[in-house]
A and B are shown apart, each in its own frame.
Chain A
Amino acid sequence: MSTIILVDDQPIANFITRKLLEIEGYNEDVIDFTNPEEALVYLEDKQNTLIFLDLNMPEMNGWEFLDYLKSKSQEHRIIILTSSTSTIDQNRAKEYDSVIKYVEKPLNKDKFKELQPLLQQQ
């Protein structure tokens, strides 16, 4: 199983996602980042990584994160995990080929079931 990356400026948000992953059996190879730039450094030599990405972050937001990956032609599989319910954000996410799913927080068991096929492609 490949590594799963969690990018959210809120440590509690990463904690919740990590715990849900653990409950579903993904208790290894999960790395979380509260600083998106550190995540980008980690991803420099990686390809096709599954990333849970928050959008509203103070230093570098989720869109900038996606743009950076696009500019570097780095191919990863992004699940946007955000508290935003805005259709503007939802439509904008569709413009990125790397975004495979848009999920509104809170992540729960039902939403997780929908993500299972994506996780199993790892």
Chain B
Amino acid sequence: MESLQDRNSRVYRITYETFSKFSNNLNRCKSLEEVSKVSERFLKYLLNFHLFRISVNQAGSYLVYCQCNSKGEFELVPKENLLPYEIKILEDNIPIRTEKIPIELSKKISETILESPFLWSWTFKKMDIDFTVSLVADENKAFDTGDIEMLKLISDSFQAKFQEIYLKEELDSKNKSLLQALDIIKNQNRKINQIVENQKQTIADRTKEVVEKNEKLLRISALNAHNVREPLSRIQGIVQLYDVFDDATCREELLPKLKQSSEEMDQVLQEVIKMATTELNQLKANEL
């Protein structure tokens, strides 16, 4: 016949073996969905309850896990959307044990007829992160103060895992943001390089254009120097001979040459003016 002490030891050992399995499985979870599966599998062997609920603060909002009828679900809610008793307990830090089951919870366990149900609720704080744990139990699934130690262990495990997943997701999100920022920077760099290349090309084109314009102006200038000065120098040369020769010679020899050189100069001037006008008009047209 097994003694009461032996029986208690066996129950105690089985409970902690179950908790160990729960804890090990929870540690391996990488997502909230996996946490839910582990909880659905093990939590019923660790505690008696109809509904289990934990709400963990995560950067101002609360990650709520609620398990009822072996089915767990998550939601992220702002503090003001927590259940009223949760908001109260977070503020006054006084544990709750009440027969008044909030409608939001009783609706979830409506399939079961509860006998003398109680809502238990506590608030904890771990590394500046506050969270509430609640459960609904009745005479068929009785919860008493002796179970609080186990509840505390389970709550710590949940809170640690939630925090880990939250931090991992935040890290992933930041990494993703960084990669996006890196992509944006790369794209911007590509655009800047493109602009720089375009600018270089524009400068090269403009420089080439200016050089060509200068060459044209130089050609016009050279034309002026050579073509205009040629007949002019002849006219000047003939004029100075007037001082040396007699009138008859001047009339017979120099005057026809003077006339011819003047006509040539007039012709050259007209050509120069025509060419300069054409070139300048062309340059203006190119600028427009």
Contact = CB atoms under 8 A, between A and B. Distances in A.
A41 interface: no
A105 B233 contact: yes
9 contacts: A13-B233, A16-B234, A16-B241, A20-B241, A56-B226, A83-B225, A83-B230, A106-B234, A109-B240
Nearest to B256: A12
Interface in A84-122: 84-86, 104-109
A15 interface: yes
A109 B240 CA distance: 9
Contacts of A109: 240
Contacts of B222: 86
Contacts of A1: none
Q: Is the interface of B mostly helix, strand, loop or mixed?
A: helix
Contact of B244 (A15, A23, A106): A23
A119 B225 CA distance: 28
Interface of A: 10, 12-13, 15-16, 19-20, 23, 56, 83-86, 104-109
B238 interface: yes
Contacts of A106: 233-234, 236-237, 240
Given A56-B226, A106-B234, A12 B261 contact: yes
B257 A12 contact: yes
B172 to A, nearest CB: 73
B1 to A, nearest CB: 129
Interface of B: 222, 225-226, 229-230, 232-234, 236-238, 240-241, 244, 257, 260-261
Given A23-B244, A83-B233, A16 B226 contact: no
Given A12-B261, A13-B233, A19-B241, 14 more contacts: A10-B234, A12-B234, A15-B257, A16-B238, A23-B244, A56-B230, A84-B226, A105-B229, A105-B234, A105-B236, A106-B236, A106-B237, A107-B237, A108-B237
Contacts of B233: 13, 83, 104-106
Contacts of A23: 244
A83 B226 contact: yes
Contacts of A13: 233-234, 237
A15 B234 CA distance: 10
Contact of A12 (B226, B229, B238, B240): B238
4 nearest A-B residue pairs (beta carbon) = A105-B233, A16-B237, A83-B229, A106-B237
A84 B229 contact: yes
Nearest to A83: B229
Nearest to A109: B240
A54 to B, nearest CB: 9
Nearest to A22: B244
Nearest to A108: B240
Contacts of B234: 10, 12-13, 16, 105-106
A67 to B, nearest CB: 19
